[in-house]
Structure 1
Amino acid sequence: METEIPALLRLRETIAPERFTFHSSRMRMKHVTKEELAAMDGQSDRCALELSDAQVDVMGYACLVAIMSMGHGYHNQSAKRLHQVTVDNGNPAPVVTSAGALCEGIKAIGAKKVAVVAPYMKPLTAMVVDYIANEGIEVKVSHALEISDNLAVAAHDTGRLPGIVSGLDIADCDAVVLSACVQMPSLAAVSMVEAETRKPVLTASIATTWAMLKALDLPTRVPGGGTLLSGAY
């Protein structure tokens, strides 16, 4: 959230007049387990309150798997609750979640069947697949990198992603989710994987940026942001 989304906004500044500031408040979590994710989500109200003090124009809830671990459709409940926190603080701001944004982004490009690469352990990856399926999107193939340490997720080598995708059977997929996690870097590989697979490629960070721009009623064209940020959606 603190690296690729600002990077995408900087790329957008090269072609559009708007300028952005980026503010963050952290929910604590060290190991990507269901228990720590639930405890982390409990801190989200505090974060929304802190950020609303800055009178931000839009908020993004970064952790996709934290939302998805809370049960089907939780992104809608979370966004509504966090928005109310900003209203109650006198600085109302729309709230988007990476979980909701990814599902909405997949639908926006017309994809019904996807391949998903995730850094999580296999049980959490299966939960993510189930959550996406509940939103009406079929996950034809998924790949779990099985990284439990949150800092190790951030340190994963983006250069490995094209090779990982090339090893998957994505013939029946309409699109590739190159990173179902805003923590795992993937932006530098998006254009390469789109070229190699000849399929739309999106990530949690790309989808969150797209949802934020939509919430701001701004054009959604970002160079290097893949199909979803081509400006067509």
Structure 2
Amino acid sequence: MNHETRTRAKIGVLVPYTNTNLEPDMMLMRAPGTTVHFQRLGGYDVDEIPGSGQMAGLGVSDISHDLRMISGVRPDVVLYGCTSATLTHGPGFDETLAARIKASSGAVSLTAAGALVAGIQALGAVKVGFSSPYLGEINRQAMGFLAASGIETVRCADIGRELGNYGQGELTPKEVFDLACQADHPQAQAIVLSCTDMRAVEAVERIEAHLGKPVVTSNQAMMFCLMRELGLPRHDALPGRLFDRL
């Protein structure tokens, strides 16, 4: 049996408690020699449709206990794994939350929303097609979040129906592919798939091959940013053109 060193980096992830796809995505993409550790977040009602109010409430919920728990592994980086919880508040809130997490954990801190912007910027894209499983108000807030960083959304596509907290994670990679294609536009330089519970990582390479454009997803962008911050080398399990920028 071959053994990994497990000494390259420890990755801590704060994940909403109904999310079923962030953990497997992180395990799919993790670099050899790294370990990934998860702490689940509450702060929202599982039976409500995850609209702007619910996600904004998650963003301001008390995570001090969760930070103490994840800090127990002495992580090198802590990821805040909900995109909409901070993009509903705007870039200033997102940056402040990342700073709070860093101060509490002593680790590099990255948010899903901040990583999404960083990934788009790494590609040099200023016009994007945007898609998500969110309700309309969150999509408008997401486009405003991107616009604050100089990124114009030239087309926005949503799933076309209300999805509950589990419904987002139950979308198949084929449905995510179709959603991405709906977001394409002749002026779009990249396609953005926002939501840590959407199975977008599995669809990235098919979308890029079909549309001929790079794709940035919440989970992929977090992995890209943490690898860049920690100086981790590229490996074979990383999907998409984004990782060419490491």
TM-score range for the pair, normalised by the shorter chain length: 0.7 to 0.9
Note if contact 1:44-1:82 (Cα within 8 Å) is conserved in structure 2: no
Note if contact 2:215-2:241 (Cα within 8 Å) is conserved in structure 1: yes
> Which structure 1 segments of 5+ residues have no match?
87-91
Name the residue aligned to 2:128: 114
Corresponding position: 1:45 with 2:64: yes
Name the residue aligned to 1:89: none
CA distance in 2, matches of 1:210, 1:61: 14
SS in 2 for 1:22: strand
Cα offset for 1:94? 1.1
Number of residue pairs matched by the alignment: 220
**C-alpha RMSD of the superposition:** 1.8
Bigger share in strand: 2
Alignment of 1:28-67 (within 5 A): 28-29=43-44, 30=46, 31-41=49-59, 42-67=61-86
Alignment of 1:22-101 (within 5 A): 22-29=37-44, 30=46, 31-41=49-59, 42-86=61-105, 92-101=106-115
| Structure 1 residue identity aligned to 2:225 | A
Name the residue aligned to 1:203: 217
Per-residue CA deviation, residues 120-146 of structure 1 (Å, 9 max, x unaligned), is 001111111111111111111111224
CA distance in 2, matches of 1:101, 1:168: 20
Note if contact 1:6-1:22 (Cα within 8 Å) is conserved in structure 2: no
Name the residue aligned to 2:154: 140
Note if contact 1:118-1:125 (Cα within 8 Å) is conserved in structure 2: yes
> Which structure 2 segments of 5+ residues have no match?
1-21
SS in 2 for 1:25: strand
TM-score (norm 1): 0.87
Regions of 4+ moved over 4 Å: none
Identity percentage over the alignment?
23
TM-score (norm 2): 0.83
Cα offset for 1:168? 4.1
Name the residue aligned to 2:14: none
Assess, with a 3 A threshold, how the Cα gap between structure 1 residues 45 and 148 changes in structure 2: closer, same or farther.
farther
Name the residue aligned to 2:164: 149
Per-residue CA deviation, residues 189-210 of structure 1 (Å, 9 max, x unaligned), is 1111100111111200100111
Corresponding position: 1:127 with 2:145: no
Cα offset for 1:221? 4.5
Note if contact 1:214-1:220 (Cα within 8 Å) is conserved in structure 2: no
SS in 2 for 1:60: strand
